[in-house]
């Protein structure tokens, strides 16, 4: 069992609503709650790592991001932490996935080794951040996931429940 699973928010835990600042629009993906509860039952620690470039572009506020995260936590939590990168793609920060900063910080805050951590996400940036941080990665493609991202991923699952199945059977 890994010590922790870090999950992307939009497209992985909840249906992606671009630049969502409205908690009423949060809709979990099928099987999310039951899958996360299976990990919790095994003692796996859970946190969210999410790029939110809408903050940098002015489309949403950090307060709106926090309100959406609170709704995700209410519906699917508890999560031990929410790590958010509010920067845009050209800001050059070290936290925006595929940079490893958010994953490394989440591991440090949880007190877990990245090598004992799995990152589950829906695009190549999630996989890239995991691998750059020394963590493991499972890609759960959606219609926006590019074919080359799927081909490059070390592990691919058809859904969040399938990703959790893989983690629980030790395929991470």
Q: Which two tokens stand for residue 86?
A: 């509010």
Beta-bridge partner residues of 66: none
What does the pLDDT look like over 88-100, one tens digit per residue? 999 999 999 999 9
Strands 45-51 and 4-7: parallel
Catalytic center residues? 8, 10
What does the pLDDT look like over 49-96, one tens digit per residue? 999 999 999 999 999 999 999 999 999 999 999 999 999 999 999 999
What does the pLDDT look like over 10-40, one tens digit per residue? 999 999 999 999 999 999 999 999 999 999 9
Q: How far apart are CA 39 and CA 30, in angstroms?
A: 16
**All structural domains of the chain:** 4-168 (3.40.50.1000)
Q: How far apart are CA 130 and CA 98, in angstroms?
A: 8
% the chain with pLDDT above 70 = 100
pTM above 0.85, yes or no: yes
Rounded to the nearest 10°, the torsion over CA 90, 29, 126, 81 is 90
């Amino acid at each position: 069992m890994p010590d922790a699973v870090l999950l992307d928010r939009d497209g992985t835990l909840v249906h992606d609503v671009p630049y969502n600042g409205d908690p009423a629009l949060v809709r979990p993906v099928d099987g999310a709650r039951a899958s996360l509860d299976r990990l919790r039952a095994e003692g796996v620690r859970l946190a969210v790592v999410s790029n939110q470039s809408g903050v940098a572009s002015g489309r949403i506020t950090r307060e709106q991001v926090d309100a959406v995260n609170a709704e995700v936590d209410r519906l699917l939590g508890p999560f031990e932490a929410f790590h958010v990168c509010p920067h845009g793609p050209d800001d050059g920060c070290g936290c925006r996935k595929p940079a490893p900063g958010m994953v490394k910080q989440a591991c440090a805050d949880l007190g877990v080794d990245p090598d004992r951590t799995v990152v589950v996400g829906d695009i190549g940036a999630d996989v890239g951040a995991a691998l750059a941080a020394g963590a493991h990665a499972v890609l759960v493609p959606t219609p926006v996931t590019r074919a080359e991202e799927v081909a490059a991923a070390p592990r691919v699952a058809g859904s969040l429940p399938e990703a959790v199945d893989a983690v629980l059977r030790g395929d991470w």
